[in-house]
Amino acid sequence: MLIPVVMAGGTGSRLWPLSRELNPKQFLKLAEDQTMLQATLNRLEGLDCAAPIVICNEQHRFLAAEQLRQSDEAHSATILLEPCGRNTAPAIALAALQAMRKGDDPVLLVLAADHLIEDVDAFHAAINSALLAAESGRLITFGIVPTQPETGYGYIQRGDKVANSLWEIARFVEKPDRETAREYVRSQDYYWNSGMFVFKASAYVKALSEFAPDILKHSERALELSVNDLDFVRLDSNAFAQCPDVSIDYAVMEHSQNGAVIPLDAGWSDIGSWSTLWEVSPKDSSGNHFKGDVIAIDCKDTLVRAESRLVTVLGVEDLVVVEDKDTVLVAHKEHVQNVKSVVNILKKQSRQEAINHCEVYRPWGRYEAVDTGKRYQVKRITVKPGGRLSLQMHHHRAEHWIVVSGTARVTVGDQSEMLTENQSTYIPIGAVHRLENPGKVPLELIEVQSGSYLGEDDIVRLDDQYGRD
């Protein structure tokens, strides 16, 4: 049995402003017409796989669940919620232990949710090559055949050949400088470290017991004390927080004599920056990639993404221009690795632009900030069929709701009423209230907030079907 393990943590801050803390790149449509998480799952079609295990941060749980639902994986996938980030070694330990809970010992296919792989047939062939070696106890990783002297990736040096397409691992090396990277590529003995693995669950657990027993101990405890919550497995936060923050390479692969590498040449990219996205995107005859409402004149080797409005560029070269509803990024392609510095400044200034978009997803649907003033805020709210907001109240704001389309059930105090298109209601400050969509189509409404404080933390939840505090 082959179980995919998809690691969907991380923030992808180098792809700001589209990738943000509460909606990072693995949940975005960047290089394809589906999100990166969905593409990761869909490219497994054709392999004999069991239901996947998805590992994500607790604050991304509803994004992950909704995207799995859209991929028809919601009822079969196991979603493990990390209460805090502890790198790949503990995350994979959780997946291995979860996979073995019923006494099984499956082969795990460990993948990142934010990789692009263009040649799916070559990818499947590499996986099939790894399965036999994994059954014998090998810890297999995929080494990406380098296409250039890349300084943004770690490398794997291959050793002696074990079998067809299978090599011993001589060593792992950190991200090199440019000249060292050139030497690696010329030697043809080095591969980019993909961070993808194939091994039996028991083989990884055994390696942890030998090389990283603390990770194994705390992961076992975190899973032992876990609770099932809706679609999720909530790990014990105190136990998991004691896990060392370390990658699988440092914790296991660099020490094990059972490690091996299979070369993979399948159009792989981790989409780690805007320049990387430009490299893998289709371009016009002048080397430009445009998405959205873009007018460009005399431009060359430039990426422009217009998410919400018209963007015009004139006579520019080697630029990245990314427009979102609340931000615009303009950067030279050689400096896009520094986008993370912008995000750090925004966080120091406690600016919302580092955390979330104007459009915010919730388990019941989504809302979008349309206009904000000194004592008012206007939102467009969409509640999916069957969606139900928490029973709540506010200390500092009143709300007006105007139904645009669909049907709303509104509860205020002990009174409940049904509202349809062009009808409205008023929620006074301090009133206990709830909004529901009992219909079969999405509910669209406009919310006008007014009051002395309009922050999202002025929500006192009294009851919530989605398990939120």
What is the DSSP annotation of 208-265? HHHH-HHHHHHHHHHHHT-EEETTEEEPPHHHHHTS----HIIIIITT-TTEEEEEE-
Chain segment 331-350, per-residue pLDDT in tens: 999 999 899 999 999 999 99
Tell the CATH superfamily of the 359-463 domain.
Jelly Rolls (2.60.120.10)
The DSSP call for residue 427 is E
Tell me the helix, strand and coil percentages in the chain, rounded to 5: 25, 35, 40
Q: Which two tokens stand for residue 317?
A: 């070269």
Average pLDDT rounded to a whole number, residues 103-132: 95
Amino acid 271: pLDDT: 93
**How high does pLDDT run on average in the chain?**
94
Threshold 0.85, pTM exceeds: yes
Q: How far apart are CA 15 and CA 10, in angstroms?
A: 12
Q: Do domains 2-269 and 359-463 have the same CATH topology?
A: no
For 188: left if phi > 0, alpha if psi spans -120 to 50, otherwise beta; the answer is left
Nearest to 246 by CA among 209, 287, 214: 214
Amino acid 32: pLDDT: 85
180 and 187 in contact (C-beta within 8 Å)? Answer: no
Q: Name the residue ranges covered by the structural domains of the chain.
A: 2-269, 274-342, 359-463
Task: Indicate if the pLDDT at residue 75 is higher than 70.
Answer: no
The DSSP call for residue 215 is H
455: which residues sit within 8 A by CB, 6+ positions away? none
190 and 155 in contact (C-beta within 8 Å)? Answer: yes
Task: Indicate if the pLDDT at residue 467 is higher than 80.
Answer: no
Whole-angstrom CA distances from 208 to 216, 243, 345 are 6, 12, 38
Q: Does domain 2-269 have CATH number 3.40.120.10?
A: no
310 and 295 in contact (C-beta within 8 Å)? Answer: yes
Q: How far apart are CA 144 and CA 190, in angstroms?
A: 9
Q: How far apart are CA 426 and CA 151, in angstroms?
A: 58
Nearest to 106 by CA among 199, 34, 226: 199
Chain segment 4-39, per-residue pLDDT in tens: 999 999 888 999 999 999 999 999 999 888 999 999
